[in-house]
């Protein structure tokens, strides 16, 4: 038997011992204490207790109680996810590959547009390898020739997506809009005046003192930034307060009509979608507990700052330029985020192996020893990886050593809904629940990437799984998972 196979067989025993170190240590200490007390005898033991001064007895009882009370007062207040809802795309907005490509060909004849046949052939090859399916949706304004990209059409998309998601969430939770104390909305590429938060406050007649924030320009990871912001507010707000978090991306004003290949990618990958989540410090009716939020920003490096960049091409057409080094930069950001979140979520056995590997590489040199990649499957049962594209999911599956089942939710969300930006993580969580895989006590790791360049993480613990498959997957979950070929011919 090889040494690697022997190590794999010994690893479960090692994990059991290290992860339960306190229990392993406490058992012999307790046995030794019981044996010593038995040797002394009850009379001598009682005499020693009577010899103690009252002040010693008081301190022995008071100090532990005071320390425990101080810890309870100073620890951060737990934050819970009451429930969430995703926008359910409309069949009338569906864009099969054939429709998308025919539309792109017609756009080439529009005055001012510079998309040419070469650009259409490039988008065709990209779609065939993208991992998207035939049921992804674009907003109604993009179904016209030429596509509408004006303010009115953009506002109509916003209202359709976010109001639908919020309506579903309020119906599921039974909460009144008056009970919401904080409203956080994130949308990167469309920031009208009045803002999204003003639109929501007006629609649902919220209180005049509701705290509200609209985050823009933060990229696809902004959903977890919004969750972190809501958590920070709730931990200092009166107990039982509620925060509404809305994540979306407005597609209407961002259709690129130029021919720069790096700027044509978003046309092929991004689709309409949105989600609303209700957070609270009250555990009543809560379905998940928020364990951690860890944010990593690598924007101090020029290449990371410019790898996802909104700009105009040489002909003046505005779009998002996705740099060819995006995957390398995303990998570096992921490593930084793993370094930050690892000590907070990994069991002691994985942390010890990582520390020993780090020390060995420093002492003996990094050439002969490979860095140890912690096994995050020991910390989480489910993974929601931002469905930014097939390459993103492939890279994270390889980097984290995940199985096909671990990344199934991400691949299926990309296939069914496309890249819905910051809301994609909620579609993936809904997939896991619709499949009936979530169990009480299960831990979920959400990983988001965004411009800047950012890698953000959130860790959740399930309190109450969904009772049914209602939600964005209600009409299609029976058909999933599906096989996604490397190259889709149509």
Mean pLDDT of 423-443: 96
Among 182-186, 194-198, 364-368, which is the least confidently predicted range? 364-368
Q: What is the pLDDT of residue 272?
A: 96
Confidence band, pLDDT 50/70/90 cuts, at residue 108: low
pLDDT at 85 over 60: yes
Q: What mean pLDDT comes out for the span 445-466?
A: 95
Arithmetic mean of pLDDT, 41-69: 69
pLDDT digits (tens, 9 = 90+) for 235-250: 999 999 999 999 999 9
Comparing 325-329, 338-342, 467-471, which segment has the lowest mean pLDDT? Answer: 467-471
pLDDT band at 434 (very low <50, low <70, confident <90, very high): very high
What percent of the chain has a predicted confidence (pLDDT) above 90? 67
pLDDT classification of 22: cutoffs 50, 70, 90: low
Strands 382-385 and 274-280: unpaired
Residue 6, pLDDT above cutoff 70: no
pLDDT at 117: 84
Q: Say if residue 3's pLDDT is above 60.
A: no
Listed in order, strand segments (DSSP E) in 326-410 are 382-385
Helix (H) or strand (E) holding 297: strand 288-297
- The answer to which of 108-122, 224-238, 398-412 has the lowest mean pLDDT is 108-122
User: Does the structure show a pLDDT above 80 at 33?
Assistant: no
Average pLDDT over residues 109-131: 83
Q: How do strand 443-450 and strand 382-385 relate by DSSP bridges? A: parallel
Residue-level pLDDT at 468:
75
Q: Report the range of poorest mean pLDDT among 10-24, 239-253, 286-300.
A: 10-24
In this structure, how many other beta carbons lie within 10 angstroms of the beta carbon of residue 327? 16
Q: How many CB atoms lie within 10 A of CB 187?
A: 26
What confidence category does residue 454 fall into, taking pLDDT thresholds of 50, 70 and 90? very high
Indicate if the pLDDT at residue 37 is higher than 80. Answer: no
> What residue has token string 């939600």?
471
pLDDT in tens, 381-402: 999 999 999 999 999 999 899 9
Q: Are 257 and 114 in contact (CB under 8 A)?
A: yes
Which pLDDT value is given to residue 7? 54
Give 144-153 pLDDT, tens digit per residue. Answer: 888 888 999 9
CA dist 472 and 121 (Å) reads 32
pLDDT of residue 470: 78
Confidence of residue 309 (pLDDT cuts 50, 70, 90): very high
pLDDT band at 159 (very low <50, low <70, confident <90, very high): very high
pTM score over 0.85: yes
User: For the chain, what is the radius of gyration of the CA atoms?
Assistant: 27
Task: Give the mean model confidence (pLDDT) for residues 294-317.
Answer: 93
Reported for 234-239, long-range contacts at CB under 8 A and 24+ positions apart, including other chains, are 234/77, 234/79, 234/182, 234/279, 234/280, 234/281, 235/76, 235/77, 235/79, 235/281, 237/181, 237/182, 237/281, 239/77, 239/281, 239/282
pLDDT over 70 (residue 358) = yes
Summary mean pLDDT of the chain: 88
Could you tell me if 349 and 19 are in contact, meaning their C-beta atoms sit under 8 angstroms apart? Answer: yes
């Amino acid at each position: 038997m090889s040494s690697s196979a022997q190590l794999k067989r010994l690893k479960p025993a090692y994990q059991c011992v290290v992860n339960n170190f306190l229990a392993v240590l406490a058992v012999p200490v307790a046995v030794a204490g019981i044996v010593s007390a038995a040797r002394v005898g009850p009379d001598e033991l009682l005499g020693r207790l009577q010899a103690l001064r009252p002040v010693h007895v008081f301190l022995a009882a008071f100090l532990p109680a005071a320390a425990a009370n101080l810890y309870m007062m100073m620890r951060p207040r737990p934050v819970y996810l009451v429930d969430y809802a995703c926008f359910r795309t409309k069949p009338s907005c569906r864009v099969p590959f054939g429709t998308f490509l025919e539309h792109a060909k017609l756009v080439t004849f529009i005055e001012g547009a510079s998309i040419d046949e070469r650009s259409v052939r490039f988008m065709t090859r990209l779609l065939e390898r993208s991992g998207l399916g035939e049921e992804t949706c674009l907003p109604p304004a993009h179904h016209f020739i030429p596509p509408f990209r004006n303010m009115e059409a953009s506002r109509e998309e916003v209202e359709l997506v976010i109001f639908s998601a919020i309506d579903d969430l309020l119906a599921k939770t039974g909460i009144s809009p008056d009970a919401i104390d904080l409203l956080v909305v994130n949308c990167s590429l469309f920031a009208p005046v009045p803002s999204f938060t003003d639109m929501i406050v007006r629609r649902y007649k919220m209180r005049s003192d509701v705290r509200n924030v609209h985050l823009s320009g933060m990229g696809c990871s902004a959903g977890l930034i919004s969750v972190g912001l809501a958590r920070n507010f709730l931990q200092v707000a009166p107990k039982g307060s509620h925060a509404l978090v809305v994540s979306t991306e407005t597609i209407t004003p961002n259709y690129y009509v130029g021919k720069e290949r790096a700027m044509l990618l978003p046309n092929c990958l991004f689709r309409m979608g949105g989600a609303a989540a209700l957070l609270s410090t009250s555990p009543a009716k809560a379905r998940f507990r928020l364990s951690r939020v860890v944010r990593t920003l690598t924007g101090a490096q020029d290449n990371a700052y410019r790898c996802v960049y909104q700009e105009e091409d040489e002909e003046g057409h505005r779009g998002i330029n996705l740099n060819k080094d995006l995957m390398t930069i995303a990998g570096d950001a992921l490593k930084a985020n793993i370094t930050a979140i690892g000590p907070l979520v990994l069991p002691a056995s994985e942390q010890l192996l990582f520390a020993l590997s780090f020390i060995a590489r420093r002492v003996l040199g990094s050439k002969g020893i490979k860095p140890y990649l912690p096994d995050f499957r020991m910390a989480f049962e489910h993974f929601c990886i931002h469905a930014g594209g097939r390459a993103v999911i492939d890279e994270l599956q390889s980097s984290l050593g995940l199985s096909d089942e671990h990344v199934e939710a991400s691949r299926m969300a990309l296939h069914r809904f496309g890249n819905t930006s910051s809301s994609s993580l909620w579609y993936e969580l809904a997939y896991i629940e619709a499949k009936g895989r979530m169990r009480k006590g299960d831990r979920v790791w959400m990983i988001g990437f965004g411009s800047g360049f950012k890698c953000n993480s959130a860790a959740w613990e399930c309190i109450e799984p969904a009772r049914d498959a209602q939600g964005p997957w209600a009409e299609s979950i029976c058909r999933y998972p599906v096989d996604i070929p490397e190259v889709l011919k149509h």
